Structures are given as structure tokens and as C-alpha cells.
Amino acid sequence: MTNYAASTQYGRGWKEVYSGGSPEAEARLFATFTEQIKRVQAQIKEREHAPFIRRAFHAKIHAGITDHVGIADAEFHILPDIPEDLRIGIFQPSATYQATVRFSNASGAIQPDATPDLRGVALRVATDQGNFYDFLMTDAPASHARDARQFMVAAEAMASRWKIISLLKLLAGLGLGETWRMIQALMKESRKIDSLATDQFWSRAPYRFGPYAVKFTLQPSESASGGSAALGENYLKEDFIERLLRRPITFDFKVQRYVDEVKTPIEDGTVEWKESDAPFEAIAQLVIPQQDLRTASARETEMLVDNLDFNPWNTTEEFRPLGNLNRARRTVYQASADYRAGRSDQPASPLSTRLSKMFWIALLTVLLSAGFIYLNKRRRKSRLLTQSAQPAISLSNAASGRTKSISLSQ
Ligand code: HEM
């Protein structure tokens, strides 16, 4: 096995490639996502009969913890023995920062926790100088989308009311092969989990870490046992509350470094960076202190956190997000947050929305008619075949003298 870690290039040598050939061309594509994400939010609101516009994704909060009256906030501790070459920026040995945490389901709809889904964590690390860094993670190591365009095609498809429309939108946007690949990936990663405290979360997309490119993960310290057996609508919240009443919940924060474009690509989000190629290195720990999240003050804190606008681009140049999926997130998160906070207008282009609705209805009608004609033809053909294969019996009606033929299969 190659020992990449021994190389002086380990983690370096990465580069970003812009879709469309230039940052400007890529930015023009991303600009169209602003209206698209708002349409997704509006569509989900209508479909779910929701009282207001929510996040396009990760709408349901399980727990929100921050520095607030009577509430012990979370802490982000940098390990005293963090590898020397990773001692960059805020990552200095034994440094401790105040942290804000929001746990969520990935769906843009509020649904029971037992529904298969991904789960997310948004972690905000604040410095004494008033800067903050947002680290967003979900509980799958890779993305279902290769790039942001695919991600948005899937977002619009999944917001549809009807599964058949979702499928047609995926097929039209991605083609047959990529639709099949994405459906398989989504089915594999969406699942029911026992507890947030025992779940692992990944950045899925890469980040710059000084001269290196890395992906990061939050690995739970607790094992899977000890959770609540009940499976109510909000069992993940209940389990989290129960665990936190007994003891702190902790996660190790680890990074894995870029190796090469094949094993650890920057621009293709579907490739998992395997631990065998890029081992995890522990550099920090997230500690959520023991506390009671059932109090009025804790509920107030949760609402406060729910109203925050997390964005992976809340960071500095030396820890900035990398790759096409990540580059799109700056504007898309801002658009989603602005729309739900009432800071932007209704999604534009009602004409194109109407035209696109008419297109899908026409396509569906054509497909259904074609299917109907095909099935009818087949039925008639097989009837003819059976009739010619079956001997007919002649029945004579003695009274009328007329003869009637019937097939044996009737
Ligand atoms: C591939 C890595 C990704 C990860 C790990 C990730 C994770 C997350 C998490 C944890 C949240 C919840 C944040 C919160 O608690 O407020 C979130 C929200 C969201 N994500 Fe992502 N996401 C990823 C990619 C993307 C991409 C590529 C897009 C679109 C181009 C996107 C669009 C959104 C939007 C619109 C929200 C809601 C923002 C808001 O209204 O505040 N995500 N994501």
C-alpha cells in the first residue's frame, strides 16, 4: 500500500476546475440557482400545506445549542497534539472556542423522524475576535450529485408532488445513466438512525485547509446503545434530550487529506474519499455539555438557532470551501435564507413556470397515450394468436338452424 502521508506533497497538489471554462461562466450558471431554490421552497410549502416558507433543505430542527441565558453552550477544543503542519489559523494546540450547533433532518419538509432521510449538523465556531466559521455536515460520506447543476436538478425534481413527475424531471435533467446512479445513491444514503449522538457526519465536499485540501468529519464518542426505544414523530429530539440529561455528548473532529484527482477528486462530489487512501487525523473535539433542553430558556435558544443563517462560506480564505458543489453554495444558501426570512421577493418567471408545467403535463399525456396504444395493440395481437391456435366448436341451434362459433378460451 502506498504511504501517501510520507510524501511532502500529501494533501497538496489539488486544483479547482470551473464549469463552463471560467469563474465568470460558472457564476452565470449559479445565478440561475437563486430563483430555482426559491421555487423549490415555494413548491414544498404548497405541497406540505406549510404555514410559512422554510429552509429548502434541513427544515426540521432536532436541537439548537448556543451561548444563551441559562444555557451551557457547546465548545470546540483543538487537541493539544494536533499535527504540526495542521496548526493553521484557529487550529492552534489547546485553543478553545464557543460553538453553536443545529441538528436537523435533511428534507425540506417536516416529517416523522422514522422516515428514511439524511441528518445534518451545522457547527458554528466563534473566535474572541468576533469571527465565525461554519462547518456543515450530513451523515453520508459523499454526495448524490456530481456537481451543483445535478444537485439543483434533483432539488427541483424532489419538490414535485408526484413521483412520476420527479422521475421525468430527473431523466430530462440528467439522462438515464445518471438518473439511475443518483436514485441508487439516494436510496442507499437515506435511512432511519437510532440517535444523533451516535451518528457520524461528513463534509462530503472538500475544503481548503491552508496549503492542503481536506474533507472533515464529526465522529461520535458514544456507541449505539442506550438510546430511547420509543419511535415517536420526534424520537431523535427526545433521545438527544435524554442523553444530554445524563452526560455531555462529544464528537471528534477529524480531517482527511487530498491524495490525487482519482482517489480524492475536488470537483466530483460523488466520490467518497476512502479511509484506506486518505486516513482520518483527529484535530479537535466538539463538546455539548450536560444540560436540560426541556426548559423554557432552552426552547427559546432552539428558536434562536433555528433562525440563524448558516453558510459554508462564513469562513476565511485559508479554510474556504472547494469544488463546484461548494462554490454554488455561497449564493444558494443566501437565497434560501433570504426567502424564508422575508428579505426577498416571490420567485420570478411565472410564465416559464407555467410553460414548464404545460410541458410536463403534455409529456405525461403523450407517454400515457403511447403506453395505452401499445398495451392495446399487444392485447389484440395476443387475442388473435390465441384464437387462431384454439379449435372452435360449432354449436347448432336446432330451432333456428343457425350456427354459432365460440372459442374455448372464452
Ligand atoms: C455536499 C455537501 C453538503 C452538505 C454537507 C450540506 C449540508 C447542509 C446542512 C447541514 C444544512 C443545514 C444548515 C442549517 O442547519 O441551517 C444545509 C442547508 C442547506 N443546503 Fe446544503 N449541504 C451540501 C450541499 C449543498 C448544495 C450543493 C446545495 C445547493 C447548491 C445546498 C443547499 C442547501 C440549502 C438551500 C440549505 C438551506 C439554507 C438555509 O435556508 O439556511 N446544499 N446543507
Beta carbons of 127 and 59 less than 8 angstroms apart: no
Q: Which atom of ligand 1 is nearest to the CA of 337?
A: 40
Q: Kindly state the cell numbers that stand for 197.
A: 449522538
Cα dihedral across residues 301, 135, 6, 269: positive or negative: positive
* Residues 16-69 pLDDT 10s: 999 999 999 999 999 999 999 999 999 999 999 999 999 999 999 999 999 876
Q: Which of 36, 54, 100, 136 for mutating ligand 1's site (highest number of atoms within 8 Å of CB)?
A: 136
Q: Which of 60, 147, 327, 333 for mutating ligand 1's site (highest number of atoms within 8 Å of CB)?
A: 333
* Residues 105-120 pLDDT 10s: 999 999 999 999 999 9
Which pLDDT value is given to residue 80?
98
In sequence order, the 6+-apart residues with CB closer than 8 A to the CB of 354 are none
C-alpha distance from residue 119 to each of 189, 220, 336 (Å): 10, 14, 19
Q: For ligand 1, which residues put their CB under 6 angstroms from it? A: 37, 55-58, 102, 104, 120-122, 136-138, 143, 148, 151-152, 203-205, 269, 309-310, 325, 328-329, 332-333, 336-337, 340
DSSP letter string, 351-402: HHHHHHHHHHHHHHHHHHHHHHHHHHHHHHHHHHHHHHHSPPEEEE-TTT--
Confidence (pTM): 0.86
Query: Residue 378: which pLDDT band, with cuts at 50, 70 and 90?
Result: confident
What 3-state DSSP class applies to 37? helix
Cα end-to-end span (Å), the chain:
70
Mean pLDDT of 171-188: 98
Q: Which atom of ligand 1 is nearest to the CA of 54?
A: 40
Q: Which atom of ligand 1 is nearest to the CA of 310?
A: 16
164 CA → ligand 1 middle, Å: 25
Which pLDDT value is given to residue 279?
97
